């Protein structure tokens, strides 16, 4: 499955990131001592689908972080409008969620 053209992918990622920040759905992990990591997710969309699908590409090593990232990104993806050309084809967009404690 192909990716989006660079301009559309950047715009889509920006909208997703804004929605994640607005919802504050990713901030809870920073409160847990010692819980840090990177979760690699993939947003996939097939023509004719109602919404994109979010899947885990690489675990952070912490089930709690992985589940939080999946839930947060799924919620954001459901609220963000699909990029313009998505209706005519499919796309695959990798997405990295980083959890770091504030120091």
Domain at 47, CATH number = 3.30.1150
Position 85 pLDDT exceeds 70: no
Q: Is residue 10 part of a domain?
A: yes
Name the 3-class secondary structure at 102: coil
pLDDT band at 88 (very low <50, low <70, confident <90, very high): low
Q: Is residue 20 part of a domain?
A: yes
Q: What is the pLDDT of residues 50-68, one digit of tens each?
A: 889 999 999 999 999 999 9
Q: Is residue 32 part of a domain?
A: no
Angle between helices 6-23 and 63-79 (to 10 degrees): 110
Closest CA to 93 of 39, 52, 48: 52
- Mean pLDDT, all residues of the chain: 85
Q: What per-residue confidence (pLDDT) applies to 66?
A: 94
Name the domain count of the chain.
1
Q: Is residue 47 part of a domain?
A: yes
Q: Is residue 103 part of a domain?
A: no
- Mean pLDDT calculated for residue range 2-19: 87
Contacts of 49 (CB under 8 A, 6+ apart): none
In the chain, what is the straight-line distance between the N-terminal and C-terminal CA atoms, in Å? 40
Q: Is residue 1 part of a domain?
A: no
Fill in the DSSP letter of residue 61.
S
Domain span holding position 72:
6-27+37-98
Q: What per-residue confidence (pLDDT) applies to 32?
A: 64
Find where tokens 């796309």 sit: 91
Q: Is residue 58 part of a domain?
A: yes
Position 8 pLDDT exceeds 90: no
């Amino acid at each position: 499955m192909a990716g989006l053209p660079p301009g559309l992918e950047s715009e889509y990622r920006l909208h997703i990131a804004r929605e994640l920040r607005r919802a504050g759905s990713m901030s809870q992990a920073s409160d847990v001592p010692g819980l840090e990591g990177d979760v690699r997710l993939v947003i996939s969309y097939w023509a004719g689908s109602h919404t994109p699908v979010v899947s885990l590409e690489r675990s952070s090593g912490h089930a709690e972080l992985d589940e939080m990232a999946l839930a947060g990104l799924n919620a954001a993806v459901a609220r963000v409008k699909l990029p313009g050309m998505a209706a005519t084809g499919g796309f695959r967009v990798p997405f990295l969620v980083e959890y770091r404690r504030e120091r």
